[in-house]
Structure 1
Amino acid sequence: MPAVPLPRRAGRRTNLGLLALLLIAGGTGVLAFGVGTSLPSRLVVAAHGAAGLGLLLLVPWKAVVVRRSRTRTRGRRDPASAWALAGLVALTVATGVLHTVAGPAIAAAGIAVLQVHVGVGVGTGALLLVHVVGGRQRPRRSDASRRALLQTGGLAVGAAALWAAVEGGLRLTGAPGGRRLGTGSHERGTGDPAAMPVTQWFTDAVPDDAGDVLELVAGGRTTRLRARDLDRGDTASAVLDCTGGWYAEQEWRGVRLDRLLAGLDLPDGGSVDVVSVTGYRRRLPLADAGSLLLATHAAGRSLSAGHGAPVRLVAPGRRGFWWVKWVRRVEVVDAPWWLQPPFPLR
């Protein structure tokens, strides 16, 4: 008996579902680097994982669509770009799963699997754009029909359920991935700063000489402080959650920012710019000064050059790219903290 042909619109819906999941996975992947605070980061990473795993749900349908397409165009050569895109998508999903399961334990030549995942993901996005433009499919009214919306909802529920099943399985089996943070980061070097990876934002680099003078600009005056004078015994137990896929909890020591700013004329609703000797900077709410620490030590040891010596910012509850290293200048400004690029530009 001949096989029942797949309706044409089902093939279109499969392609639209794949496109939607790829766009969500790509968008949340970018946001995972830009969202700095803990809870939003967890939600973004969960959506990223669910969208990536959701692609697997559509593989059987896409396989039927591909077979039908090859039968209809028998004798022609399959577009190389389509197969390249399929290969990149598969590699992106595979490396994402590998990072989830094992994290930093999988690396080659100093390149972590997460770095491969990000690099392949960027290539996938570029090729997807070429593929979509070449397809020339226009929106149709039927794409927003009640049936289509129900199918979209079912795909979303299925993707979320698959993500939850994977997460539950990792925890039940005791796999390394079951112990990672909600942001996807694996533990590396808690209580042992020397075991923490030396990483920084990709536009930044460890300076040859970070100096030992910090400028504090506030209340209309500039105060120059020696780094050794910033070890005033204030401590904070905080988790450094790096967007490179690892985290470590340390006991940081130095001076709280609110102590340095005490008694100065500060603007209401202002912010504080923390600037590195490299020019890297982040702006934070002045209202957070009580929780921000200018640290000179971690776990009782002086900071190493790779980890920000002589002074680095500790910003509890924020991702690692907010923790400015090699701090050279701290300036109070009369501007909202969110008035800055979502990603560091240098």
Structure 2
Amino acid sequence: MTGRVPLRLPRRAGRRTNLGLLALLLVAGGTGVLAYGVGTSGASAVVVAVHGAAGLGLLLLVPWKTVVVRRSRRRQIGRRDPTAAVGLGVLVVLTVVTGVLHAVGVTGPWPAVGGVAALQVHVAGAIIVLALLVIHVWGARQRPRATDLSRRSLLRAGALGAGAAALWVGSEGLLRVTGAPGADRRGTGSHERGTDDPSAMPVTQWIGDTVPEERAGTLAVVAGGRRVRVPVADLDRGDRVRAVLDCTGGWYAEQDWGGVRLDRLLADVVGDRLPEGGSVDVVSVTGFRRRLPLRDAGALLLAVSAAGEPLSPGHGAPVRLVAPGRRGFWWVKWVSRVEVVDAPWWLQSPFPLQ
């Protein structure tokens, strides 16, 4: 009697286990992408919490998935090459482990091995996992069943979600009890690096962007049919804002930024003739650009200093955009042009393509 129970449970749970794993992987992947675009503390905390819970929730299904894999191997000996499935499993494990290492904030070799941080491995692994997952699911596709939305299935899904949430809450509590560095990370999951000390901030760029050898000595301002070149030396007009630069590389720093508010600069060019709607393109000397709502111009700063010191080349000298509440890739470095445009700000790639 006792020998039959372990065999019956996996047989019944095989399909549900696979669907549960698929759902958790999709939630983890979706929230992982969304976390890069959300910079406000409240919303980002929710997104990152769901992301972490979905990732840790995969561990809850490991015992069932192990039995399913063993049974599948016995049935498919000589029929199908298991290399892709094994590779997918290994990458999932690697992605979860590196995500945990980043969250913990370990000070050993994993923050950066050969210049590659745990978070970078985590993101790269996740991208490959999602690609392989599409191939794997397509090859093993199953038709939907009415029982997939039955009351019992929904209760099981709810139990899995609750278990994943409890595992995440427990892990966060453990970080705080043990005093691990990860206990103090921001809602976005970023760790503090260089607050009030710009020289201690890491120098990072978005994907293929690089520190230019030559930087503009003037800033082109295009608005209201006029084009004016403003010397960078004239941009330090006493405007100050304390804001958090939250980099998608997994770190953040809070600084006192100095320069000129964007709305003041635009008013010098066109006076009161700015349109009520519209957007403003902020363009780097490298071609990197972001478009922001013109209504936010009063909260945006073109900074030439941080913590009272001139910006370094790696941090955007001679002038960079400071966009409070937005992630680091919105903070355009080496700004060479700002231009008021009619196009809506959201009509652009969610993430820079450069």
Tell me the TM-score range normalised by the shorter chain.
over 0.9
Uncovered stretches (5+) of structure 1, i.e. residues with no partner: none
What is residue 6 of structure 1 aligned with on the other side? 8
How much has 1:125 moved relative to structure 2? 1.4
TM superposition outliers: structure 1 runs of 4+ over 6 Å: 74-78
Distance 1:344 1:41 in 2: 19
1:314 aligns with 2:322: yes
Which of 147, 151, 154 aligns to 1:146? It is: 151
Residues 258 and 75 of structure 1: CA distance in aligned 2, closer, same or farther (over 3 Å): closer
How much has 1:103 moved relative to structure 2? 5.9
Contact 2:279 2:294 (8 Å CA) reproduced:
yes
Aligned pairs (5 A) from 1:280-295: 280-295=288-303
Distance 1:104 1:295 in 2: 32
Contact 1:231 1:255 (8 Å CA) reproduced:
yes
How much has 1:32 moved relative to structure 2? 2.0
Which of 272, 275, 280 aligns to 1:267? It is: 275
Contact 1:53 1:163 (8 Å CA) reproduced:
yes
Which of 94, 113, 123 aligns to 1:118? It is: 123
SS in 2 for 1:65: helix
Q: Could you say what the CA RMSD is over the residues aligned between the two structures, in angstroms? A: 1.8
Which of 25, 44, 48 aligns to 2:47? It is: 44
The count of aligned residue pairs is 346
Return the letter of the residue paired with 1:82.
A
What is residue 96 of structure 1 aligned with on the other side? 99
What is residue 284 of structure 2 aligned with on the other side? 276
Distance 2:106 2:236 in 1: 35
1:324 aligns with 2:325: no
What is residue 227 of structure 1 aligned with on the other side? 232
Which stretch shows the higher mean deviation, 115-124 or 295-304? Answer: 115-124
1:170 aligns with 2:171: no
SS in 1 for 2:299: coil
What is residue 86 of structure 1 aligned with on the other side? 89
C-alpha deviations, 1:122-171, integer Å up to 9, x for none? 12112212211111222111111111111111111111121111112212
1:195 aligns with 2:200: yes
Distance 1:216 1:74 in 2: 68
1:66 aligns with 2:74: no
What is residue 186 of structure 1 aligned with on the other side? 191
What is residue 204 of structure 1 aligned with on the other side? 209
SS in 2 for 1:111: coil
Contact 1:104 1:112 (8 Å CA) reproduced:
no
Per the normalisation by structure 1, the TM-score is 0.95
Distance 2:344 2:40 in 1: 17
Distance 2:195 2:234 in 1: 26
Distance 1:73 1:320 in 2: 48
1:134 aligns with 2:139: yes
Distance 2:284 2:50 in 1: 33
SS in 2 for 1:15: helix
SS in 2 for 1:107: coil
Return the letter of the residue paired with 1:3.
R
Return the letter of the residue paired with 1:31.
L
Which stretch shows the higher mean deviation, 115-124 or 313-322? Answer: 115-124
Return the letter of the residue paired with 1:333.
V
1:214 aligns with 2:219: yes
Which stretch shows the higher mean deviation, 318-327 or 199-208? Answer: 199-208
Distance 2:120 2:200 in 1: 19
Distance 1:284 1:103 in 2: 36
Which stretch shows the higher mean deviation, 171-180 or 307-316? Answer: 171-180
Which of 31, 36, 44 aligns to 1:33? It is: 36
1:299 aligns with 2:304: no
Identity of aligned residues (%): 71
How much has 1:37 moved relative to structure 2? 4.1
Distance 1:250 1:277 in 2: 24
Distance 1:256 1:162 in 2: 45
